[in-house]
Amino acid sequence: AAARLAAPKQPLLNPARLAPFVDPLPRPARARPVGRREHPAWPGRLLPCYRMEMRAFAARLHRDLPPTPQWGYAGSSPGPTIEVERDEAVLVEWANALPARHFLPIDHTIHGAERDKPEVRAVTHVHGARVPADSDGWPEDWYVPGRSALGRYPNAQDAATLWYHDHAMGITRLNIYAGLYGAWLVRDAQERALGLPTDECDLPLFLCDRLIGRDGQLYYPVSDDPAAPWVMQCQGNAVLCNGKLFPYLDVEPRRYRLRLLNVANSSFFELALTHGLVFRQVGSDQGLLPAPVEHSRITLYPAERADVVVDFAGLARQRVQLQLQLHGGGILEFRVGERGRHDDSALPARLRPVPRLDVAAARDRVLTLGEVDDAGGNALRMLLDGKRWSDPVSERPHAGAVETWSFVNLSGDAHPVHLHLVRFQVLERRPFDLFAWNARRELKYTGPAQPPPPHEAGWKDTVRADPGMVTRIAVRFEGEPGRYVWHCHLLEHEDNEMMRPYELLPA
């Protein structure tokens, strides 16, 4: 029941016609606190406070294209990077200074009540952050242009590559597509002691695909089919890296730490390097792996991160590309210089231990993914455990408890499942009999459990749940009691009912 797509109003760009690698790779600016402030929930603590204003702006995606209207934090996309030290709390005032009308088509959302809501609304979530519920970016706590929200962030967690992005109910897919995302890096002493590349040799690479017209405008696909009013996946015609098409980066022949983030709506990326270079992956979503994992290819589903070290030593005067394995297209060109300063970085063989969670006494929740609900006049909602957003809260773990969640994927797609607040471990993926499930709701396995590969054996916050598989994770629910959410990070699914609340109860 895939939607028929309406033709875009302008012809689409053929990216192969653009001159590749003519724009320098933008490095997101580092955000600076604007002062010190108190949060009403933390009286008596004067904390560094950032101010992030969401604004419309226009920027060229490529030298030869006209400027593209976008939305971004501080008027850029990616927005400025917030860099914090573990256990140092900060505040952020997230200000909505967006125009009154959306520039992307907003009328095709499935949420029935959408039509009663203001067209432009926003609320920011810091993906992967352990935060009190009041600052988590609850999707219904959106606010309109002219308003802002003050979030409090304890940063009481291991060093990791987190990211912030919009999370407004029903339109997250459009707000992120418009450009509302940026990096939030937590650093800590233990990671620093490893001596990984730092400063200009440590940078985020935000990857996302977009549908771009010949006029340089962003298109969001719309359905032509009243029976399937929303578009279940949004695939672009080009991949942006830090907001540019085919940028280049001048590098020295030495080690670099690249934090790869998939911030696409629904595309996964299979990445590779030319010249036989390998990725040495040192971290995943929630920080360091126990040991570096070497691969020639990395696959990232939406919202997943891979923290990698790439060594350009011995490649002086070469032009190395970061490429998409599937389409063979270059995304980013590294221009390796003649020589650089002495490389004093390190890549230790041991990084940070990841003690396995003890799940012997854990409660297991069996939750289905991707059941379709076409009742109620709004065709095709993608559901989590057969429930809608507005159904009563059914997952209510106690603070401190370890649980396992088993995601039974009933659909034909892989879904990247994300839980707010917590970090988790992937236990296994195991094939099951879909017919036995559909007929009797019986969970019958048809093959052995597959343990996660080494790069998925660290702390994660988003896991790919494959079709035909039960994907099982172990979670310790650390954090403050309150309401949080879990959802599919394919943004089209998330906006169309594939998101559920969960409630953390006191210990």
102 binds ligand C2O (CB under 6 A): no
CA 125 to each of CA 128, 156, 172, 280: distance values in angstroms, whole numbers, following the listed order = 9, 16, 11, 29
Confirm if 384 and 500 have CB atoms less than 8 A apart.
yes
Shortest spacing between CB 491 and ligand C2O, in angstroms: 9
Report the partner that residue 493 touches, choosing among ligand C2O, Cu ion, none (CB closer than 5 to 8 A by kind): Cu ion
460 binds ligand C2O (CB under 6 A): no
Q: What are the beta bridge partners of residue 449?
A: none
Exposure pattern of 32-66 as b/e (b: 16+ CB <10 Å)?
A: eeeeebebeeeeeeebbbbbbbbbeeebebbeebe
Nearer to ligand C2O, 128 or 330 (CB): 128
> What residue type is assigned to position 11 of the chain?
P
Q: Is 110 left (phi over 0), alpha (psi -120 to 50) or beta?
A: alpha
| Cα gap 165→495, rounded to integer Å | 14
303 binds ligand C2O (CB under 6 A): yes
Give the number of other CB atoms < 10 A from CB of residue 249.
22
Give the number of other CB atoms < 10 A from CB of residue 484.
23
Nearer to ligand C2O, 420 or 476 (CB): 420
* 3-class DSSP string for 174-243: HHHHHCCEEEEEEECHHHHCCCCCCHHHEEEEEEEEEEEECCCCEECCCECCCCCCCCCCCCCCEEEECC
125 binds ligand C2O (CB under 6 A): yes
Shortest spacing between CB 391 and Cu ion, in angstroms: 18
The span of 136-144, 333-341, 407-415, 448-456 binding Cu ion (CB under 5 A) equals 407-415
Give the number of other CB atoms < 10 A from CB of residue 71.
27
Which residue number has the CB closest to ligand C2O?
127
Report the partner that residue 415 touches, choosing among ligand C2O, Cu ion, none (CB closer than 5 to 8 A by kind): Cu ion
The span of 208-216, 264-272, 414-422, 458-466 binding Cu ion (CB under 5 A) equals 414-422
487 binds ligand C2O (CB under 6 A): yes
Shortest spacing between CB 394 and ligand C2O, in angstroms: 18
Shortest spacing between CB 426 and ligand C2O, in angstroms: 18
| Cα gap 293→500, rounded to integer Å | 34
Looking only at Cα atoms, what is the longest distance across the chain?
Answer: 66
Report the partner that residue 133 touches, choosing among ligand C2O, Cu ion, none (CB closer than 5 to 8 A by kind): none
The span of 55-63, 114-122, 325-333, 484-492 binding ligand C2O (CB under 6 A) equals 484-492
408 binds Cu ion (CB under 5 A): no
493 binds Cu ion (CB under 5 A): yes
167 binds ligand C2O (CB under 6 A): yes
Nearer to Cu ion, 259 or 387 (CB): 387
173 binds ligand C2O (CB under 6 A): no
Give the number of other CB atoms < 10 A from CB of residue 379.
18
Report the partner that residue 62 touches, choosing among ligand C2O, Cu ion, none (CB closer than 5 to 8 A by kind): none
Torsion of CA 40, 44, 45, 46, to 10 degrees: 90
The span of 91-99, 107-115, 384-392, 481-489 binding ligand C2O (CB under 6 A) equals 481-489
Question: Is 295 exposed, middle or buried (CB count within 10 Å of its CB: 0-12, 13-18, 19+)?
Answer: middle
Among 169, 490, 499, 504, binds Cu ion (CB under 5 A): 490
DSSP string, 261-327: EE--SS--EEEEESTT--EEEEEETTEEEEEEEEESEEEE-TT-EEEEEEE-TT-TT-EEEEEETTT
488 binds Cu ion (CB under 5 A): yes
Shortest spacing between CB 161 and ligand C2O, in angstroms: 13
Site size toward ligand C2O (CB under 6 A) is: 10
Report the partner that residue 488 touches, choosing among ligand C2O, Cu ion, none (CB closer than 5 to 8 A by kind): Cu ion
Site for ligand C2O in 398-427 (CB under 6 A): 418, 420
Contact residues for Cu ion, defined by CB under 5 A: 415, 488, 490, 493
The contact set with ligand C2O (CB under 6 A) reads: 125, 127, 165, 167, 303, 418, 420, 485, 487, 489
